[in-house]
Structure 1
Amino acid sequence: MSKIFEVPLYPYQRSPDQDARAPVRHKVVVVGAGPVGLALAVDLAMQDVPVVVVDENDKVSWGSRAICFAKRPLEILDRLGCGDPMVDKGVVWNLGKVFFDKRQVFDFNLLTEQGHKRPAFINLQQYYLEQYLVDRVRELQAEGKPIELRGGSKVLDVSQDESGAELTIDTPDGPYRISAEWVVACDGAASPIRTLLGLEFTGRVFEDNFLIADVVMEADFPTERWFWFDPPFNRGQSALLHKQPDNVWRIDFQLGWDIDREKELKPENIDRRLKAMLGDEISYQLEWSSIYTFQCRRMERFREGRVLFAGDSAHQVSPFGARGANSGLQDADNLAWKLRLIMDGKSPLTLLDSYDAERVHGADENILNSSRSTDFITPKSEISRIFRDAVLDLSERYEATRPMVNSGRLSVPCTYDGSPLNGPDCAAMPERTRPGSPMVDAPVPGGWLLDRLGSAFHLLTIDAEAPDTVSVDGVACQRLALSTSDDHDGYLRQRYLGNAAAGVYLVRPDQHVAARWDHYDAAAVKAALGKAMGR
C-alpha cells in the first residue's frame, strides 16, 4: 500500500465553530468520510448545498476493503467527477471461472452489450476511491463550493427535534457542539449514530467466517474472477481470487464457524494457507488481512426524524456479489437531490419517504440475493451440501444447470418498481427503461447520453417535439432533444423506443426514469414532474 495513504489527507484543524458561544447551525452534516459519505457530500456541494463532513479518522481506509465496482456506480461517479480516475486506475474484468475440487466446471462473461461508456465491472482498492473523492472535495473547495471536511472529529452524542439535530463532537482540542438541519449517518455497519439513537439493526448472521488476504505478487494469473468450491488447498470450504491494481491480489478463504480468530490471523497461518494455494514457487508479500462474518441486516427504516442513514449504517450484506459499496453509492445518489429540493423549499418533507421506500427496496433486493449466495456457498446441512455438489457436477456438462450455481450474484442497478415518484408508462417501449429504472447509457452526438443529463431534471425527447423548458413551482426541466437519424448503430432506438415511433422521457436528477410517453403532452408531463418532486 502506497505511503500516501499513511499520512493524513484531511488532518485535524481547529474550526471557528469550536470558539462559538452557541452551536453553529449547518445545512447538512455528514458523519463518516468513507465512499458513501464523501460521495453524498460531493453531490450536495455540486448542487450548492452547504455540507460539513466529520470523521474521527484523518486518512483513507487501510486495506482494500470494497474492491469491485459495477457499471451503475461508475456512472454515478462520472456525474460526481471521479469516474475517469477510477476506470483509468482500475482493473477491468469480464470473465469469471468456477472450479469444483480440481476441475473448472464453467466460466461466464459479464461483457455488456456494446454502446456503453463504462465497463461491467472494475476492481480497485477502496482507498483509491476515497482518495479520488477527497481530491474532488479539494477541487470543489477551490471552486468556492460549500463543502468542508473535518478529520479527527468523533461524534459523541446526537439529539434532535422537529427543526434539526445537534451533535457533540470530540477533537484533539476537546469537545464542541454543532447543529444541523439534517444529519446523514454514513458511519459504517457499527454506526455509532444508530447506537446513540437506540435503533435496531436486524437480520441474519451466517455461521461462517472468511479470511481476506491482500497479497502483492507477480503472477501469471489472468485478469479474471476465480471461485473454488471444495478446492484441494482448502478442503470442505471455498476460496476466491481477484486481481487489483499495483499487483495486489485479493484472496478469500472460507474458514468455517468455530474458529480462533487470533490464531487464524497470525502471519504464519495465513502464509500456510497461501502457500497451499499458490505453491512454493510464487513469491508474495502480505499487505493486509482481516476476518469477516457473513451478515445480512438492515434498519427498519432509513430515516429517523432529522437523521438519515446511508450505506453500511443502514444495511449490510455479505461481500460476495459486490453489493455493499455499490448499493451505498446508490443510496447517496438517491438522497442528494431530494435533500436539495426540500431545503430549497420546492418539495415537501414527505419526499424523503421516497428515499426510505426506494432504498429499502434496494436493500431488500441485495439482502435476498446475498442470502441466497451465502446459503449456496456455505450449506448448513448435509442434504444442502449434497444438492449443491450435484449442481456443480452437472454444471460442467449441462448449461441449463449453470444458473443454479451461485458463487455470488454480482451487483446490478436497482429499479424502483412501485415507487411513489413513478409516473405514466408506455407499453410499446422497452421493459428495461420503464419508470423507476436507471437510464441506460448510449452514444449520442457529442458524447454519451448520461453525461448529457447531469444532475438535474431533464425531458429527453427522441423524434418528438416539446418545449425547451417545462417548469413546476420553480423547478425547471430542460429538454434534451435527440433523433434516431443520428442513431447510426441503433442503440437509442433499441433501448428507448422499442415499438414506439417516438419517445418522451422524464428523467430524475439521479438519472432514473420518472415517466415516459410516445408523444409530448404538456399536462401529463407537468403532472409527472410534480409527482417526481413529491408533490
Structure 2
Amino acid sequence: MQDRYPLAYKTYPYAKCADQEAEAPARHPVVVVGGGPVGMALALDLALKGTRVLVLDDHEGVGMGSRAICFAKRQLEILDRLGCGETVAQKGVVWNIGKVFHGEEKVYEFNLLPEDGHKFPAFINLQQPYFEKFVLDHVAALQAQGLPLEIRGKNRVDAIEQDAEGATLTVMTPDGPYQVAADYVVACDGASSPLRKMLGLGFEGEVFKDSFLIADVRMKADFPTERWFWFDPPSKAGASQLLHKQPDDVWRIDFQIGWDADRAEEMKEANIRKRVAQMIGDDVEFELVWSSIYTFQCRRMTQFQDGRVIFAGDAAHQVSPFGARGANSGLQDADNLAWKLQLVLEGKAPPALLASYDDERIHGAKENILNSTRATDFITPKSEVSRQFRDAVLTLSKDHDFARPFVNSGRLSVPCTYDGSALNTDDALPAGPPRTRPGAPCPDAPLDEGFLLGRLGRAKDAAFQLLALDAEVPEAFSAHGIDCEVIALSVAENDMLRERYLGGARSAVYLIRPDQHVAARFGSFDAAETTEALGRAIGKEL
C-alpha cells in the first residue's frame, strides 16, 4: 500500500557536481554507499573526527515506510556522542516494560532497565523516517558550519573496481555516469547490497519458513506504552501478535500469517483492515498508515572486509525483526568502525586495525543471529514436538518462575561486549565489576553535572581517554602518537559510579576507546602498562 508518513521529501536532492566533469576520477578518503541510519551515522562520526566523507545514495532523502522502530539505549548513547541523541529521544515513545501473553493470560513480564542513573531509557519507539530526519537535520546544521560531509542523492553505484591502494566506483546519475575513487569504501547499502553482489561475496545463513504482516495504524487507544506480545492471541488474527506504541498515535502491529499465505491477497488494504479490526475491535476507528510483509532471515557475510571495501549494517548481516537487533546492530557497526578507519587514514594505526572491526563485529553478528534464531525457533516451532515444548513452557510460566526464562518472544537488543578481542588488555582489576571488564561498553552514571557518557568519546579526533577513579594520574598522557585526555573523578559520594566501575577495588584507571568501550583497566596508573595497553588497542600487536 502507499506510504502515508509525511516525511518522504528530498533532503538531499540531486545536483550536478564537479566530480562529474573531472577528466580523472576525483579521489576521496572515504566513500559511504547508502544514506540510511547506519551509513549516515558512520559518515557523521568520521566527519566529526575531521575526515572528509562522501555519501552516495540512490534516493534523495528520508526513506519511505516505518521499518525500524525500536532504538535501544546504547544506540541513543551513540547518537548522543554524535550530537543528536536528545533530539531523537525526545520524539520517541519511551518504554522499559514488556509483557508476554498466552491467549488471554499474561505469562511473563520484564523490565529492561530496572536501575536508575542513566541518561536514556532502555528503548524508544520511533519510526525510521523520523530517525533519519533528525540525523539529517543535524548533519545539515553542521554542514553549514563546515562539516566535511557531502551527500549526493540520485547517485547509484553501478560498478566497482579495487586494488591495493583503493577502489574506483562507477556512479549513475540523471546526467549519466561518472567515476569517483576512494581510499576506502563502506557499503551500507542494505540487505540486498548491490556492492556485495558486484564483488561476488556470499551471504550465508537461514531463511525461516514463516511470514509476518506489519501494519502501522493511527488510532486513539488505551494500551500502555509497553511491548505486548501474544502467543495464540484470543483475536485469532494471527498465530502470534506484537503491539508497540509509536509517536503521533501510531501503533505497530505484527501478525504471524504463515509461510503459505498469499502475499498479494494479504497486502490488499481491505484484508489488512479486516485483520486489524479483528484484533482491536470493529468499533475502533483507525487509519492504516503503512504496511509490509517480511520473512525471518538470519544471515551474514563470512568476512565484513574485502580489500578496500568494508560492509556494515544489513549489508553485512541480517536478523529477524523480533529483538530489535537490525538497525541497533548496524549502528554498533558504525560506532566500531569510525575511529579505527580514522586512525588508519591518519597513519596513527596500522591497516591491520581494521581486521579487528571484522573480528569484533562478526562476534556481534554471531551473538545477534544466535539470539534471533532462538527467538524464531520459539515463535515458529519447526516440529510438533517443538510446539508442544513451547506450549508447555508458556503454560508453566503462568505460575512457575523457573519456566519464565525459557519464554522467548524476541530477546531485546543489548550492547555487544567484545570478550576475547585482540585489542583488549588482560583485566588487571580483579575486584572490579564484570560489567566494565575489558571489551565492555561503558555504562552510564550520573555525575555532579550531567552524566559520565557525556564526558567520554567526545573528542573531534579518534582520541582515547583515561578515566581515573580515586587514583593519582598525570594531567595528560601521550603514547604512540596519540594524546589521551585524562578524566579524574572521585567516587566518594557517588554510589552508582562506585558500583559500576570500582566494585570491590579502592581505585581504578580505565583506558577508554573512542567508541566508549573499555580497552584496559588497572588498579592504579603505570605509564609503561598504559603505553602497552594503548599500543594493543590501536592494533600494533595484530
**Short-chain TM bin:** over 0.9
Determine if the alignment matches structure 1 residue 498 to structure 2 residue 498. Answer: no
Partner of 2:521: 516
Classify the secondary structure of the residue corresponding to 2:147: coil
Partner of 1:51: 53
Indicate which of 334, 352, 355 corresponds to 1:353: 355
Indicate conservation of the 8 Å contact 1:56/1:154, yes or no: yes
Partner of 2:33: 31
Classify the secondary structure of the residue corresponding to 2:211: strand
Whole-angstrom distance in 2 between the partners of 1:80 and 1:344: 20
Determine if the alignment matches structure 1 residue 467 to structure 2 residue 468. Answer: no
Partner of 2:448: 445
Classify the secondary structure of the residue corresponding to 1:132: helix
1:439 alignment partner AA:
C
1:74 alignment partner AA:
L
Indicate conservation of the 8 Å contact 1:214/1:286, yes or no: yes
Residue by residue over 1:195-231, the C-alpha shift from the partner in whole angstroms, topping out at 9 and shown as x without a partner, is 1000000001000010000111111111111101011
Whole-angstrom distance in 2 between the partners of 1:479 and 1:462: 11
Partner of 1:168: 170
2:432 alignment partner AA:
M
What displacement does 1:143 show? 1.6
Partner of 1:454: 457
What displacement does 1:446 show? 2.3
Whole-angstrom distance in 1 between the partners of 2:96 and 2:521: 32
What displacement does 1:112 show? 3.2
Partner of 1:376: 378
Classify the secondary structure of the residue corresponding to 1:182: strand
Indicate conservation of the 8 Å contact 1:112/1:120, yes or no: no
Partner of 2:127: 125
Classify the secondary structure of the residue corresponding to 2:430: coil
Residue by residue over 1:169-193, the C-alpha shift from the partner in whole angstroms, topping out at 9 and shown as x without a partner, is 1111111100000000000000000
Indicate conservation of the 8 Å contact 1:33/1:186, yes or no: yes
Whole-angstrom distance in 2 between the partners of 1:373 and 1:112: 23
Indicate which of 411, 426, 430 corresponds to 1:427: 430
Whole-angstrom distance in 1 between the partners of 2:8 and 2:201: 34
What displacement does 1:295 show? 0.2
Indicate conservation of the 8 Å contact 1:201/1:300, yes or no: yes
Indicate conservation of the 8 Å contact 1:45/1:140, yes or no: no
The 10-residue stretch of structure 1 (337-346 or 424-433) with the greater mean CA deviation from structure 2: 424-433
Indicate which of 335, 338, 362 corresponds to 2:337: 335
Indicate which of 72, 85, 92 corresponds to 2:94: 92
What displacement does 1:468 show? 1.8
Whole-angstrom distance in 2 between the partners of 1:527 and 1:3: 52
Classify the secondary structure of the residue corresponding to 2:190: coil
Partner of 1:138: 140
Classify the secondary structure of the residue corresponding to 2:289: strand
Structure 1: tracts of 5 or more residues without a match: none
Partner of 1:532: 537
Classify the secondary structure of the residue corresponding to 1:208: coil
Classify the secondary structure of the residue corresponding to 1:137: helix
What displacement does 1:3 show? 6.6
Alignment of 1:390-429 (within 5 A): 390-425=392-427, 426-429=429-432
Count of aligned residue pairs for this structure pair? 533
Whole-angstrom distance in 1 between the partners of 2:401 and 2:15: 59
Partner of 1:156: 158
Classify the secondary structure of the residue corresponding to 2:278: helix
Whole-angstrom distance in 1 between the partners of 2:180 and 2:236: 52
What displacement does 1:396 show? 0.6
Whole-angstrom distance in 2 between the partners of 1:268 and 1:223: 28
Indicate conservation of the 8 Å contact 1:206/1:295, yes or no: yes
Indicate conservation of the 8 Å contact 2:188/2:315, yes or no: yes
What displacement does 1:235 show? 6.4
CA separation of 1:254 and 1:4: change in aligned 2, threshold 3 A = closer
Please report the TM-score for the alignment, with normalisation by the length of structure 1.
Answer: 0.98
2:73 alignment partner AA:
K
Indicate conservation of the 8 Å contact 1:233/1:273, yes or no: no
Indicate conservation of the 8 Å contact 2:436/2:500, yes or no: yes
Classify the secondary structure of the residue corresponding to 2:185: strand
